[in-house]
Structure 1
Amino acid sequence: MDVREPALPVDPRWPGEPTVLEVGKARAWLARRGVAVWLPTRVLALRLGGRGLGTRGTPVYAIVFAVLWALTGAVFRRHDLPGEAAALSVLYASFQVTRWRRAQSREQLAEGLTGAAVPPPLRVAAGQVGWWYLVSTGLTFLGGAALCAAAFLTGPRFTWKHWYPPEVAIGLNTFALAFGAGATALVLGRVLRAPVIAEDAASHAVDGVLRAEDPYRFAPSAAYAVLAMPIYVVDWAWPGPLGWISLAYLVVVLVLQLLGWLLARRRHRRLPPGCYGR
């Protein structure tokens, strides 16, 4: 099979062939980067289309997570249960990992078309991901762990509103932060060590763009920084010294990751000339 032939969408149960929606998603992705093709190559259709939500029909897992998200918020607020933010964060991390796993199944098909390949050197892969993302991710989880530990050592300086002690909520948030760190490490580790799936210069360029985009798409770690906020800050009490430090930490993490995302989009705004389809 010539992997550079245009992808003709057929029955998605056939191995190695993209769906109509995947082809459309790949066309739109390429068009946003200055490449106009009617039919992308098979490899690009599988890789680009496979990252779209719903490109193989309405995903059941998305419906399940949406229902669980709505029920979790309602039940926790109604019964004043501890750990609402922690439970929602675990659901969010699980949803992102599930999306990533589905995309990986299409990656494996594309890798089978191009043959065995080796990952780029770790420093090169890290440069493609971007140091802004790596620094913000490290700060999110290391700084968050330090703030959670500090929160255990300080108590709220106002009347506690809930029937459970604040240490319970802090402990659940700490667990959810660790869960988010594990989910992020799972995705990021694969991004850094994934083989280059390419058969020419054009698909090699796309591989670099996807390596830069995937951490923001499947592991936006700054979202977990909210879990490191002391529980009494979240309860809208006037923050003390730890509260102000936590708020500064949250702003820095969000700004670093936003800057990284904007710079990555700017760096990969246009693709070089090449064979992307026809």
Structure 2
Amino acid sequence: MANADTGWPGELRPEEIAATRVWLDKRGIEVNEPSRLLSIRIGPRLSRKVPGRFRWLVGAVVVSILLITAYGIVRDISGVHDRDLPGGVIVYFVCASMQVALWLSYLHRERALGPLPVMDRRSGRPSVFKILGGWFVASFVITFGGGAVLAVAMYTTTSAKAYAWSWGGALGWTALCCAVILVGTLRRPVYAEDTASAAVDTELRVLDSQAAVPGFYPVIVLFDVLFYGQPAGFTGWLLTYAALSLGTSLMSVWQHHRRPALPPGDYGTTARPRSA
């Protein structure tokens, strides 16, 4: 693979090629040199160091600071005391922003290494349920739909109105960030040139969808429930909510670890047979 060792943004790095080889090997495909297309698609997602990633992460930090600042202004205008607000709002803002930044960083790396061949822009895309799976869909609905219901219920039936709108707003930001990742992943064209690269494209959609981890966020609210006992009257509901969301997310991870092997095809330079 020409100029693979140069390290320039437009050339594949050795670690990206190595990460691609390892990923393929775990799926039953042994190659000496992965094809350039597969290295472009897989390498940036699994390499620890990706050109330009730091800038995306800095951008996420800046967005988080702006959100935290706006949240503080609204809190001050409302005259609400900190003890009446959820303790994990900052975690929601930072983690969700970082999720999107990481996802964008390897898409940007793909474009820098491209262009990518498009096999099909619409009809060839796998179905949503084939990519996400039922457990992931359940986790998403429980986390954001169930969270919205609980936030409205808190606001309308208790005195913890500040807690309700603060938590609901933070959860809304995470829902937006997760939706950006999922919509971008599910609606992008099939970047492939043959059966093998089309199969990899499907597996990378699954991998990218896992970047949106909804089941992580309900766990944050347990900090308030377990250590501060707020909001009063909703302890049982929030414990159940967190358990269901986290449980379905873990089941989704387990389901996706049982992915089928990649089909036979041209994945690169075939590995030499192993000596007996």
What amino acid is aligned across from residue 234 of structure 2 in structure 1? L
Look up the match of 1:143.
146
1:249 maps onto 2:241 in alignment:
yes
Partner SS for 1:39: strand
1:42 maps onto 2:36 in alignment:
yes
1:219 maps onto 2:212 in alignment:
yes
Q: Specify every segment of 5 or more residues in structure 2 that has no aligned partner in the other structure, as ranges.
A: 73-80, 270-276
With over 3 angstroms needed to count, the CA separation of the structure-2 counterparts of 1:117 and 1:8, relative to structure 1, is farther
1:187 shift after superposition: 0.6
Give the Cα separation in 2 of the matches to 1:83 and 1:240.
12
1:58 shift after superposition: 8.8
Look up the match of 2:262.
271
Correspondences of 1:32-181 after superposition (within 5 Å) = 32-52=26-46, 54-56=48-50, 59-60=53-54, 82-108=85-111, 112-115=115-118, 117-120=120-123, 124-155=127-158, 166-181=160-175
Q: TM-score, normalised by structure 1?
A: 0.77
With over 3 angstroms needed to count, the CA separation of the structure-2 counterparts of 1:130 and 1:109, relative to structure 1, is farther
Partner SS for 1:267: coil
Give the Cα separation in 2 of the matches to 1:109 and 1:183.
23
1:11 shift after superposition: 3.1
Q: Deviations over 1:50-70 (max 9, x none)?
A: 11353326943587579x99x
Give the Cα separation in 2 of the matches to 1:122 and 1:186.
18
Look up the match of 1:25.
19
What amino acid is aligned across from residue 276 of structure 1 in structure 2? Y
Q: Deviations over 1:248-276 (max 9, x none)?
A: 121111111211221111024x2222211
Partner SS for 1:175: helix
1:224 shift after superposition: 2.1
Is residue 41–residue 277 contact of structure 1 (8 Å, CA) maintained in 2? yes
Q: TM-score, normalised by structure 2?
A: 0.78
What amino acid is aligned across from residue 259 of structure 1 in structure 2? M
Is residue 148–residue 228 contact of structure 1 (8 Å, CA) maintained in 2? no
Is residue 51–residue 109 contact of structure 2 (8 Å, CA) maintained in 1? no
Give the Cα separation in 2 of the matches to 1:39 and 1:88.
41
Greater strand content? 2
Give the Cα separation in 1 of the matches to 2:18 and 2:126.
34
Q: Over the residues paired in the alignment, what is the CA RMSD in angstroms?
A: 3.3
Look up the match of 2:200.
206
Partner SS for 1:92: helix
1:197 maps onto 2:188 in alignment:
no
Correspondences of 1:235-246 after superposition (within 5 Å) = 235-237=227-229, 242-246=234-238
1:260 maps onto 2:252 in alignment:
yes
Count of residues in correspondence between the two structures: 253
Give the Cα separation in 2 of the matches to 1:88 and 1:254.
17
